[in-house]
Amino acid sequence: MRLPPFRKHDIQSRRPQWQVAQNRRRRFQLLNSFVKRFSILAFPIAMLGVMAVIIIAAWFSIKASPSPDSTPAPAKPPSLAKNEIRALLKPLTLKQLSNNHIETTADNRQLWVETTLNKDLQQYLNKKLTAKTARYLALVALEPSTGRILAMASQNKTATGENPCTELQFPAASIFKIVTAAAAIEVCGMHPTTEVTFNGASNTLYKSQLKERKNRFTNKTTLKQSFAKSVNPVFGKIGRNHLGKRTLEIYANAFGFNRNIQFELPLVPSTINIDDEPYHWAEIASGFNHSTVISPLHGALITAAIINNGKMQMPMIIDQITNSEGMVLYRGQPQELSIAINTQTAHELKVLMAATIRSGTCRKIFRGYRKDPVLSQLNIGGKTGSIYDQSHELKFDWFVGFAEEKNRGKQLALSVLVAHDKYLGKRAGDYARMAITHYFNKHFAKMKQITHNQNS
């Protein structure tokens, strides 16, 4: 076969195409090398990009938001803590109220204090309390389910200016039998009809009376009657022989002893100290001592817990405090302090306290209550206590108790302390009956008027 003739220009015409291919190959190698290197740095570069986007978005957001100078945030009204309220109310008096509010000034601020006090009951008690024969006289009435103070009236013949309702302690005496009875019911399984015995007088407490013995001089009774008549040897034996130091301490604490109760007014803690001597356990359990001390307000809280199914509420005397601009600086709220006892125990303690009114130490003071137009509509219970001070100059006379409508409506818990001076004047139970009668008389009249308006 014959080959085509060789031509020089043919070689020259192919050379540019070869160079183009070589250039393309070199570019492809460079690009492939770049891709391999970029794949190693891809993730860090991507994260930097995301961060950049976030920073830019945040910058635009800040620039778009209004400046603080243009739209200032509303100022939050200052609030008052309970310790500030205690300092605020300490110099004020709650005795001469024309309404249930007080106007005062603190730190150049005008404040409007609305209290929980029942104006009518407060004014009535202020007129009725007389300290002619008493060095101290204190009465506290409160609403059991909320702890709202309805009345706090007092007289103090000393020059200290302290409020006997909250700032002074007095020997608890037989009031502490309420705590002992609660422990006996829950720990020892006792109930109101449990049979108990004692030897000797009912108002004494000798070591010989604490022995578990039965002879022809032994008196048989029940826990209910022992409580109602305040029989010291029975409660002394319960404390020494059945409860002991630790149990007495536990139940005293449950009822608020040795605790700082946060109240809007200065409130001195009620205290109890129990040593390791068994006879001292008997003294504590029966109230036959001067070392267990209590404030009248605390006495009302204890009885309020009983009528409130064992729940003890934090006391409160302030509804709210506002400033001159109408801003609320403080608002009182019901708050549970503790669950002292269970509901069944509370029910059985009510039985014991009702016996005190019916057949116990208060039977004379409440004589005829079943025929009284007001008291006959109520369930009433109480506990009395009396003891001289160590110098035998003062006789402390207690009544703590409750009253409630028989249809389980309105309730009232109260505590009265009279420290008789040289002569015995009006008893604590007398003031209690007056307060209960007046309060529920007004309540029944109000309910009658409401019913009349609804029917007319």
Q: Say if 44 falls within a structural domain.
A: no
Which is more confidently placed, 8 or 127? 127
CA atoms within 13 A on the CB side of 441: 12
CA–CA distance, 387 with 393 (Å, rounded to integer): 11
Q: Say if 16 falls within a structural domain.
A: no
Q: Domain range for residue 259?
A: 82-455
Q: Say if 172 falls within a structural domain.
A: yes
For residues 115 and 330, the answer to whether their CB atoms sit within 8 Å is no
Identify the CA nearest to 139 among candidates 305, 266, 296: 296
Residue-wise pLDDT tens digits, 215-232: 989 999 999 999 999 999
Residue 193 is predicted with a pLDDT of: 97
- Per the structure block, which two tokens stand in for 304? 């309020």
Count how many domains the chain has. 1
Q: Say if 69 falls within a structural domain.
A: no
Residue-wise pLDDT tens digits, 113-122: 999 999 999 9
Phi-psi region of 189 (alpha: psi -120 to 50; beta: other; left: phi over 0): left
Q: Say if 322 falls within a structural domain.
A: yes
Q: Span 33-47, mean pLDDT? A: 58
CA–CA distance, 409 with 370 (Å, rounded to integer): 19
Which is more confidently placed, 51 or 7? 51
CA–CA distance, 159 with 130 (Å, rounded to integer): 17
Which CA distances in Å does 333 have to 101, 159, 292, 319? 17, 34, 30, 8
Residue-wise pLDDT tens digits, 303-347: 999 999 999 999 999 999 998 888 999 999 999 999 999 999 999
Q: Say if 331 falls within a structural domain.
A: yes
Q: Say if 211 falls within a structural domain.
A: yes
Collapsing DSSP states into helix, strand and coil, what is residue 319?
strand
Q: Say if 18 falls within a structural domain.
A: no
Q: Please report, to the nearest 10 degrees, the dihedral formed by the alpha carbons of residues 59, 61, 62, 66 taken in order.
A: 160
CA–CA distance, 80 with 316 (Å, rounded to integer): 15
CA–CA distance, 249 with 176 (Å, rounded to integer): 12
The model scores a pTM over 0.85: no
Q: Please report, to the nearest 10 degrees, the dihedral formed by the alpha carbons of residues 194, 199, 396, 120 taken in order.
A: 30
For residues 163 and 268, the answer to whether their CB atoms sit within 8 Å is no
Backbone angles phi, psi at 274, to 5 degrees: -120, 125
Q: Span 372-378, mean pLDDT? A: 96
Which is more confidently placed, 65 or 48? 48
pLDDT band at 61 (very low <50, low <70, confident <90, very high): low
- Per the structure block, which two tokens stand in for 233? 């040897």
Identify the CA nearest to 435 among candidates 347, 366, 364, 367: 366
Residue 190 is predicted with a pLDDT of: 97
For residues 317 and 116, the answer to whether their CB atoms sit within 8 Å is yes
CATH number of the domain where residue 379 is located: 3.40.710.10
Q: How many CB atoms lie within 10 A of CB 449?
A: 10
CA–CA distance, 411 with 440 (Å, rounded to integer): 9
Residue-wise pLDDT tens digits, 143-201: 999 999 999 999 998 877 789 999 889 999 999 999 999 999 999 999 999 999 999 99
Residue 4 is predicted with a pLDDT of: 46
